[in-house]
Amino acid sequence: MSISLSEQWLLWGLGMMVGFPLVMVALGELVLQLDKRHHPMVKVAREVRNWVMPTAALFFLLTRVLRIDDSLAGIKLVETLAWMSLIAAALSLVNVLLFTGAKKDSWQAEMPKLFRDLVRTFLIAVGGAIVLSQVFEQDLGGLITALGVGSVVIGLALQDTLGNLFSGVALLFERPFQVGDWLEVDGCTGKVVEVNWRSVHIMTRELEMLIVPNSVLSQAVIRNYNRPEAQHVEPVDIGFSYNDAPNTVKRVMREAALDTPGVLSHPAPVVQTISYDDSSISYRVRLFLADYSQVPKIRDEFVTRIWYTARRNGLSIPFPIRDVFHHQVPRVKGDETLQRLANYMKSLPSLAMVADDVLEEMASQVTLGHYGRGESAIFQGQSNVKLHFVLAGSAIATTQDSIGREHKIAEMTRGDFFGYSALLANEPSPMTVTASEDLEVLVLEIDGVQKMLNKTPRFSQQLGSVIAARQQKLKSIKLDPQRNGSLLSTSD
- One DSSP character per residue, 315-356 reads -----SS-----SPPPSSPPHHHHHHHHHHHHT-GGGTTS-H
Residue-wise pLDDT tens digits, 263-298: 999 999 999 999 998 889 999 999 999 999 999 999
Most confident of 230-244, 378-392, 448-462: 230-244
Is pTM beyond 0.85 here?
Answer: no
Closest CA to 414 of 384, 448, 391, 380: 391
C-alpha to C-alpha distance for 416 and 489, rounded to whole angstroms: 6
Residue-wise pLDDT tens digits, 395-440: 998 888 777 788 888 788 888 888 877 666 667 888 899 998 888 8
Q: State which H helix or E strand residue 121 sits in.
A: helix 113-135
State phi, psi for 413 to the nearest 5 degrees.
-125, -170
Count Cβ atoms within 10 A of the Cβ of residue 366 and give its class: 0-12 exposed, 13-18 middle, 19 or more buried: buried
Q: What is the pLDDT of residue 182?
A: 92
Q: What is the pLDDT of residue 483?
A: 45
C-alpha to C-alpha distance for 301 and 53, rounded to whole angstroms: 64
C-alpha to C-alpha distance for 388 and 198, rounded to whole angstroms: 64
Q: Is 132 left (phi over 0), alpha (psi -120 to 50) or beta?
A: alpha
* Fold annotation for 335-479: Jelly Rolls (2.60.120)
- When pLDDT is cut at 50, 70 and 90, the band that residue 5 belongs to is very low
State phi, psi for 390 to the nearest 5 degrees.
-75, 120
C-alpha to C-alpha distance for 125 and 131, rounded to whole angstroms: 10
Cβ neighbours of residue 96 closer than 8 Å, sequence gap 6 or more: 40, 41, 43, 44
Q: Fill in the DSSP letter of residue 63.
A: I
Range in 314-328, 381-395, 454-468 the model is least confident about? 314-328
Classify domain 176-224 by CATH number: 2.30.30.60
Burial 339-359 (b: 16+ CB within 10 A, else e): eebbebbeebebbeebeeebb
Q: What is the pLDDT of residue 112?
A: 59
C-alpha to C-alpha distance for 440 and 209, rounded to whole angstroms: 44
Instruction: Check pLDDT > 60 for residue 328.
Output: no
Q: State which H helix or E strand residue 273 sits in.
A: strand 270-276
C-alpha to C-alpha distance for 46 and 27, rounded to whole angstroms: 8
Cβ neighbours of residue 38 closer than 8 Å, sequence gap 6 or more: none
Question: Order of strands, edge to edge, in the sheet holding 366-371?
Answer: 366-371, 439-444, 387-392, 417-418
Helix (H, G, I), strand (E, B) or coil at 40: coil
Most confident of 16-20, 143-147, 252-256, 453-457: 252-256
C-alpha to C-alpha distance for 430 and 436, rounded to whole angstroms: 19
Closest CA to 7 of 68, 65, 61, 75: 65
Which of the following CATH numbers is that of domain 232-312: 3.40.50.1010, 2.40.50.100, 3.30.70.100, 3.30.479.20?
3.30.70.100
C-alpha to C-alpha distance for 296 and 234, rounded to whole angstroms: 10
Cβ neighbours of residue 312 closer than 8 Å, sequence gap 6 or more: 369, 370, 371
Please state the domain extents for the chain: 5-157, 176-224, 232-312, 335-479
Residue-wise pLDDT tens digits, 57-66: 888 888 877 8
C-alpha to C-alpha distance for 492 and 487, rounded to whole angstroms: 9
Contact criterion met (CB below 8 Å) for 273 and 281? yes
Contact criterion met (CB below 8 Å) for 8 and 64? yes
Instruction: Check pLDDT > 90 for residue 449.
Output: no
Question: Order of strands, edge to edge, in the sheet holding 376-378?
Answer: 376-378, 432-435, 395-400, 406-412
C-alpha to C-alpha distance for 315 and 305, rounded to whole angstroms: 13
